[in-house]
Every structure is written in C-alpha cells, then in structure tokens.
Amino acid sequence: MTIPPDFPRDAAAVHESTDRLLVSLGKLDDAAVGEPSLLPGWTRGHVLAHLARNADALVNLLTWARTGVRTPMYASTAVRDGDIERDADRPLAVHLEDLQESAARFGAAAQALPADRRAYEVEMRNGVVERADRLALRRLAEVELHHVDLGVGYTVEQLSPAFVDSELDFLTGIKFAGHPDLPALELHGDDGRQWHTGRSADGASAAPVVVSGSPKDLVGWLTGRADGGRLDTHGAALPVIPPL
C-alpha cells in the first residue's frame, strides 16, 4: 500500500536525519574529507558539497511552490557540477557550517510552505515533475543514502523503517514503474508485503522475477547501496538495476 506524503512529518524526519549525519561527520577530520567515498569518482568532500547544494536547490523548488514563480533547482547542470567541484576540498569545519546553514534554510522554506500549496507541481532536475509535498521525502532520500555513501559506518541496516517504507514506495511506484530497462519484478518483503515494478508483465511478457528479502535489503539493492547478495531470487538471476 502506498504511503501518502505527510509534509510536516517528512520535514521533521529530514531534520532528524541531518542530525544523525552531523554526528557522524563530527568523528572525521580534514584528511578524511579528502578520502574516497563509496561513490565512484567522488571524495567525501564531493558528497558533502552536493548535500549542501541540494538543500538549497530544494529551497528553490519550495519557493517556486509557495510563490508560483518559476525557480529552477539549479541554474544549469554545469553550474551544479561546478559548485560541487569548487567546494569539495574545503576543510571539515567549513563543510559542517555549510551543511548546518543549508539545512536551516531548507527547514525554514518547508515551514513557510502553506498547506494549500503542497499539491503544487514543480519541475525538478532533468524535467521530472514533482508535487511540493513530496520534496521533503526527496531531501530525506538524499541525506539518508548519501550518509551511507560517505563510508563512515552508517549502513543500509541503519536506515529508519519509515524511510525504507517511503523509499520502497517511491522506487517501485514511481522511479522504476514501467522502466523499459528493468524486467517485471515482484518484490516480497519478509514481513509479508509485496511490491510490483519494472516492465509490465502482461500476457505477452514473461512472468515477473520474484525477489524476496527484508525491506532494507530491497532498498539497498534498488538504490545501488548493496549488491543484493542476501536477497532470494528463487533460482533466477538477480536483475541489474538501472542507474538512479
């Protein structure tokens, strides 16, 4: 069953997730910031710079939803990528300050969004259209998954059940629903729940690939944060997930 967005609840979850991230970062030093993250080609500093600028990009979209005045996430892809490269090598203290200040701006923009504007649709990067009341969930995914990408001890196992549920709904119901590069999937959670995604399995198509496991392991596999080794494919090959 799809979980409807609850904007105040989701915005509060973003705040809590950011606090967990900052606690993890407090254990690092400047040298650690320059070390490779779990994302190919990015140091931890790249991940942190991206997280800060993503918060500001989502502030732009919340402002658009509140005012009705088109405010793109980023001026351009080149500007987005340039900002990340520019800021990646900063000292840890500067990254921490930027993350805290950008998180505060996001929180203020979320607080300022009137209830009657939450259904307003805005355009995200790459032309994806999204309702304003789902932007907090979008930010939550950024913070939670990139926390894992930092390689600082925060793993898929530590993702909150509430985030896992919302992310499974998003991935199966929106991101990969009807995706031409993903075979029809029937996902079975070890708690008895099921999700369907990928190409439609109709009478002319092969039966869906059944993949079973814990919701956290399913999210880890679908987001590329785990190899799916703990999932059961019931004799079939585990499909390759397209890039997010």
The hierarchical CATH code for the domain 7-154 is 1.20.120.450
DSSP class of residue 156 equals: G
d(CA 178, CA 157): 28
Domain definitions of the chain by residue range: 7-154, 161-222
The share of the chain scoring above pLDDT 70, in percent, equals 97
- pLDDT level of residue 2 (50, 70, 90 thresholds): low
Residue in the block written with tokens 């392991």: 217
Instruction: Using CA atoms of 226, 219, 20, 46 in order, give the dihedral in degrees to the nearest 10.
Output: 60
d(CA 212, CA 233): 6
- pLDDT level of residue 193 (50, 70, 90 thresholds): very high
d(CA 161, CA 224): 18
- pLDDT level of residue 244 (50, 70, 90 thresholds): confident
Mean pLDDT of the region 30-47: 98
Q: What is the pTM of this model?
A: 0.94
DSSP calls for 221-234 = HHTTSS--TT-B-T
How many alpha carbons lie under 13 Å from residue 123 in its C-beta half-sphere?
8
Residue 209 pairs in a beta bridge with 185
Mean pLDDT of the region 194-221: 88
Positive or negative, the Cα torsion across 221, 224, 229, 234?
positive
211 with 238: CB under 8 angstroms? yes
Q: What is the pLDDT of residue 205?
A: 57
**Mean pLDDT over each residue of the chain, to the nearest integer:** 95
Please say if the pLDDT value at position 114 is more than 70.
Answer: yes
Q: What is the pLDDT of residue 201?
A: 63
Express each pLDDT in 150-181 by its tens digit: 999 999 999 989 899 999 999 999 999 999 99
d(CA 163, CA 147): 13
DSSP class of residue 171 equals: I
Token representation of residue 67: 């005012």
- pLDDT level of residue 202 (50, 70, 90 thresholds): low
H-helix or E-strand containing 206? Answer: none
Mean pLDDT of the region 212-233: 97
Please say if the pLDDT value at position 61 is more than 70.
Answer: yes
